[in-house]
Structure 1
Amino acid sequence: MASRFIPRSSFPYDRVINWFPGHMAKGLRMISEKLNSVDLIVEVRDARIPLSSVNPNFEKVVGRKPRLIVYNKHDLAHPDTKDIITKAFARNAPHTPVIFTSCLKDMNIRAILNQAALLADPIPQVTLMIVGMPNVGKSSLINSLRRVGVGKGKAAQTGAQPGVTRTLVGTVKVLEDPTVYLIDTPGVMVPHIADPVRSLKVALTGGIRDHLSDEQIMADYLLYRLNEKEAHGYSTWFRLPDEQPTNSVDVLLESVAKRIGAVVKGGEYEHTMAAKFFLKHYRTGKLGQFTLDDISPEGLETFFERVKMYGSEGKTADDGVSRRQEKKMAKLAARKEAQRIFKLEGGSRRNPDSFA
């Protein structure tokens, strides 16, 4: 009788992975400079790491600007994540709308456009800004918004590795009526992630370049998490010995290498290539749907208490207006009043809009 598999109880890891190229620092400055021309911030996060994909720097920059939180890649996260996170926001940040999306399926993309349209009642034109950490799917979201909103093709370049978008692009129309434009921004990483395991989770979900994180270490951490969740399908996928789970990353990678033919000169198995393939399987959902962050009630309470991001009752898309919106409304009201006076006086050659 085979002995019962016992997974590792911990994953010792103390290396901090930092990745903050120059274009990210520049991108953060440009985001700040563009804020006055933006009506709504759409902050995109990764549903697989709903807490680890939060960049506190956006809080400093965005301030009380109306904001919508979009948890993308929901189809790759555990199915319970949406309900748990939504309820947590309802308790801790009731004025911050939250939407879960999957850009591969255009899931809930219309809901984002509807949220933006709420701002268009007093304002004839709305501008969104898309922000988020690298590889959370901002460019894919923009393409989905454009496809669903105006029926047009790609407006932003996408890629499997982070850092594809390096500069702010021009405004892109994503809705005709009401008129909604958006601005894409580069993914901006936290300059220093103090928690080594958090940096590893960000790397595992594609937020940090793989070679900076060491693919084999990421594969080992992924193996640890899969075993922790009793997700042993990999043992069948990659034909491990007796198709049994393992705690050894070397056993795993050798089996993966055999399966994909990753053999180097001399007949040795190429573990790095095997690790890349294993990671790709996870990132495309072939190993299952998993949320890597602790989203237990205690974990979420600790998160909201520690970060204190949402302590203020800031204005949102449905309960207030920004300074730019106020100016637009004032200008629109002045124009309407000028037109009313123009009609009352029977019309003249003077342009009624000149009163605005």
Structure 2
Amino acid sequence: MATRFIPRTHFPYDRVINWFPGHMAKGLRLISERLNSVDLVVEVRDARIPLSSVNPSFEKVVGRRPRLIVYNKFDLADQSTSKPITEAFAKHAPTTPVVFTSCQTDDNIKTILDHASKLADPIPQVTLMVVGMPNVGKSSLINSLRRVGVGKGKAAATGAQPGITRTVIGTVKVLEDPTVYLVDTPGVMVPHIADPVRSLKVALTGGIRDHLSDEQVMVDYLLYRLNGFNDYEYAKWFKLPNNEPTNNVDELLQGVARRIGAIVKGGELDLNMAAKFFLKHYRTGKLGQHTLDDVSPEALESFFESQKMYNASTGVSRRQEKKIAKIEQRKNSRRVSKAEE
């Protein structure tokens, strides 16, 4: 029985998986160049890895500009994690709003549009820029905003693998009244992830192309984490011996291969195909809602201390000041013209 099962207590891993193609470096430069025409930066993170999906490069680029943090794919994460994260932001970055979203159900998408609408007073229109690591769901978020805001379909291409958006694209309207435009950007990976386990978590959640990492190692790590969460449903789903959990990744993959019929010539089980299937199963939420990062108060305290996150100004941005000045200038010109008449 599962009650006799003792999960592994540690996962030895020392390989760093890095992926930083040329278009990402170019994307970061373009993001920096376009910031002057943006009123609000919407930084998207993966709710399953709320700390590991943070790119410190954005801190240097965004600086003290107004920012909204969106923890996307929250439908795939542990629902109890929103409270400690929200409390940590309230303490360490009180001027930066936090939203937890799901683009599958459009949960809290309207909250983002409402926040943008407030920025539109007194300026006539607002431009948002969406930034984030690869595959955190930026394009899906844009499509959700457009669907909820203007009732229209896809404006950005989406895909299961990272790197779909490769350059900064033009503006997309996501709200009519007030007018809110949005700029999509390519996912930008950290050039070097020093922590091997962090790079493994990013790969596991789809932030690094699968062929660059060992799928069977990712499955082994996922198995280790599922067992640590005491979530043994996989044992029944894939009909492991006696429906009992295991610490042995080969035993798991053999069960998966048999379940899905992944058999090659000679009757040999295709463990690589089984690994791909198991990863897909996890990424679509069929293995439960789990958050892979530690979001205890202590871990979040340490994160914010090391992150040195800028507190955005609560006042009007320079771009907004210029817009307001132009509006006032036009009003004054009209008054002068009427007086002269």
Task: Output the TM-score relative to the length of structure 1.
Answer: 0.94
Identify if the C-alpha distance between structure 1 residues 2 and 324 changes in structure 2 by more than 3 Å, giving closer, same or farther: closer
CA-to-partner distance for each residue in 1:294-347, whole Å, 9 max, x for gaps?
10111111111112124xx321xxx212221111110001111122233334x3
Further displaced range: 84-93 or 240-249: 84-93
**Partner amino acid for 1:184?**
D
For 1:306 and 1:169, the matched residues in 2 are separated by: 32
For 1:188 and 1:90, the matched residues in 2 are separated by: 27
Residue 335 (structure 2) pairs with residue 340 (structure 1): yes
Identify if the C-alpha distance between structure 1 residues 218 and 130 changes in structure 2 by more than 3 Å, giving closer, same or farther: same
CA-to-partner distance for each residue in 1:1-42, whole Å, 9 max, x for gaps?
887100001000000000000000000000001011111000
For 2:191 and 2:98, the matched residues in 1 are separated by: 26
Aligned length: 341
For 1:52 and 1:136, the matched residues in 2 are separated by: 11
CA-to-partner distance for each residue in 1:272-301, whole Å, 9 max, x for gaps?
110111111111111100000010111111
Secondary structure at the aligned position of 1:80 is classed as helix
Percent same amino acid at aligned positions?
77
Unaligned runs of 5+ in 1: 348-356
For 2:31 and 2:307, the matched residues in 1 are separated by: 22
Counterpart mapping for 1:240-259 below 5 A:
240-259=240-259
CA-to-partner distance for each residue in 1:187-241, whole Å, 9 max, x for gaps?
0000000000000000111000111111000000000000001000000010000
**Partner amino acid for 2:278?**
F
Secondary structure at the aligned position of 2:61 is classed as helix
**TM-align CA RMSD:** 1.1
Counterpart mapping for 1:119-130 below 5 A:
119-130=119-130
Counterpart mapping for 1:1-356 below 5 A:
4-310=4-310, 313-315=311-313, 319-345=314-340, 347=341
For 2:274 and 2:42, the matched residues in 1 are separated by: 37
Secondary structure at the aligned position of 1:335 is classed as helix
Secondary structure at the aligned position of 2:329 is classed as helix
For 1:179 and 1:344, the matched residues in 2 are separated by: 32
Identify if the C-alpha distance between structure 1 residues 71 and 3 changes in structure 2 by more than 3 Å, giving closer, same or farther: closer
For 2:337 and 2:114, the matched residues in 1 are separated by: 35
Please state how far the C-alpha of 1:122 moved relative to its aligned partner. Answer: 1.6
For 2:89 and 2:64, the matched residues in 1 are separated by: 17
- Does the aligned pair in 1 maintain the 2:2–2:245 contact within 8 Å? no
**Partner amino acid for 1:282?**
Y
Please state how far the C-alpha of 1:172 moved relative to its aligned partner. Answer: 0.4
Secondary structure at the aligned position of 1:262 is classed as coil
Secondary structure at the aligned position of 2:129 is classed as strand
CA-to-partner distance for each residue in 1:79-114, whole Å, 9 max, x for gaps?
101111111101111110000100010111011011
Secondary structure at the aligned position of 2:325 is classed as helix
For 1:287 and 1:215, the matched residues in 2 are separated by: 17
**Partner amino acid for 2:332?**
E
Ranges of 4+ aligned residues in structure 1 off by more than 4 Å: none
For 1:149 and 1:343, the matched residues in 2 are separated by: 38
Identify if the C-alpha distance between structure 1 residues 211 and 324 changes in structure 2 by more than 3 Å, giving closer, same or farther: same
Secondary structure at the aligned position of 2:42 is classed as strand
For 2:235 and 2:130, the matched residues in 1 are separated by: 39
**Partner amino acid for 1:338?**
S
For 1:231 and 1:337, the matched residues in 2 are separated by: 67
**Partner amino acid for 1:21?**
P
For 1:192 and 1:114, the matched residues in 2 are separated by: 36
CA-to-partner distance for each residue in 1:169-192, whole Å, 9 max, x for gaps?
110000000000010000000000
For 1:80 and 1:56, the matched residues in 2 are separated by: 25
Secondary structure at the aligned position of 2:45 is classed as strand
For 1:142 and 1:261, the matched residues in 2 are separated by: 38
**Partner amino acid for 1:325?**
Q
Secondary structure at the aligned position of 1:266 is classed as helix
**Partner amino acid for 1:42?**
V
Unaligned runs of 5+ in 2: none
Secondary structure at the aligned position of 1:6 is classed as coil
Task: Output the TM-score relative to the length of structure 2.
Answer: 0.98
Q: Tell me which structure has the larger Cα radius of gyration.
A: 1
For 2:2 and 2:174, the matched residues in 1 are separated by: 58
**Partner amino acid for 1:324?**
R
For 1:33 and 1:190, the matched residues in 2 are separated by: 19
**Partner amino acid for 1:243?**
N
- Does the aligned pair in 1 maintain the 2:2–2:244 contact within 8 Å? no
**Partner amino acid for 1:299?**
A
Instruction: Report the equivalent of 1:352.
Output: none
